[in-house]
Amino acid sequence: MTVIVDYDAGNLRSVQRACSEIGVRAEITSDPSRIRDAERIIFPGVGQASTAMRSIQNSGIDQAILDAFGTGIPILGICIGLQISLNRSEEGDVETLGLIPGHVRRFRMQNSELKVPHMGWNDVQVAKSHPILDHVQTGDEFYFVHAYYPEPENEACVYARAEYESTFCCALGLRNFFGTQFHPEKSGRVGLELIRNFMSWDGTVA
């Protein structure tokens, strides 16, 4: 069973449709017990980090995600789902889940022609291989909508980068967690390929 975590952060139906397009039935749920029992978890979201944290703490989803991470269930974090996997976010100055050591920073643009949020298609640079990035190549474009970006403490966690005035991490992973700042569910063929890779990933990295 694949579950899509519902914590009032939106974007759930587009993720579910993307799963359906590759032949996977994914259940949308806010039930912590369903999350713990899942074979794999998609943790998406758009919106504000402090609001997201308040929602998952009030519902018990935070502990369900921590338990799933601890037991090795494959987890795919998308956008806010990636950001709140780190220790702390500048968005609301909030302590987050801490699955991966690091912080989330706001873009501070020096170039007035570049706007925040960063919105639209952007090519990515693959930093190193990962089963979820099979068939994803440097130069492939994904869809982004964000004003904040992840900054993991350990470079070994960085799997892809993108550039928006400066270079930033756009995909990271540790053990059975993999997260993307971009939205694979809105990124056409290459995004669907990434989701398909996640569906066959056993949560380990060689």
Domain boundaries, the chain: 2-200
Question: Exposed, middle or buried by CB within 10 Å (0-12, 13-18, 19+), for 147?
Answer: middle
Rounded alpha-carbon distances, angstroms, from residue 118 to 38, 98, 148, 178: 33, 25, 9, 21
Mean predicted confidence (pLDDT) in 116-144: 96
Q: Which of 141, 142, 204 is nearest to 178 (CA)?
A: 204
What's the Rg (C-alpha) of the chain?
15
Mean pLDDT computed over 12-29 = 97
How high is the pLDDT of residue 110? 79
% the chain with pLDDT above 70: 100
Residue 134 — φ and ψ, nearest 5°?
Answer: -55, 130
Catalytic site residue 19? no
Among 39, 66, 35, residue whose Cα is nearest residue 53? 66
- State yes or no: pLDDT of 111 exceeds 80: no
For this structure, is 118 an active site residue?
no
Peptide linkage before 101 cis (omega within 30 of 0): no
CA angle 181, 70, 92 (to 5 degrees): 40
In this prediction, residue 158 carries a pLDDT of 98
Average pLDDT along the chain: 95
Mean pLDDT, to the nearest integer, of 97-116?
89
pLDDT digits (tens, 9 = 90+) for 135-164: 999 999 999 999 999 999 999 999 999 999
d(CA 17, CA 185): 8
Position 103 scores a pLDDT of 97
- 14 CB-side CA count, 13 A: 14
For the stretch 38-83, pLDDT in tens is 999 999 988 899 999 999 999 999 999 999 999 999 999 999 999 9
Q: Is 95 a catalytic residue?
A: no
pLDDT band at 206 (very low <50, low <70, confident <90, very high): confident
Q: Which of 118, 146, 183, 193 is catalytic?
A: 183
Which pLDDT score, from 0 to 100, does residue 25 have? 97
The catalytic residue among 19, 79, 169, 170 is 79
With tokens 């601890």, the residue in question is 70
Record the pTM: 0.96
Topology of the domain covering 2-200: Rossmann fold (3.40.50)
Alpha helices in the chain (DSSP H): 12-21, 32-37, 49-59, 61-71, 80-83, 188-200
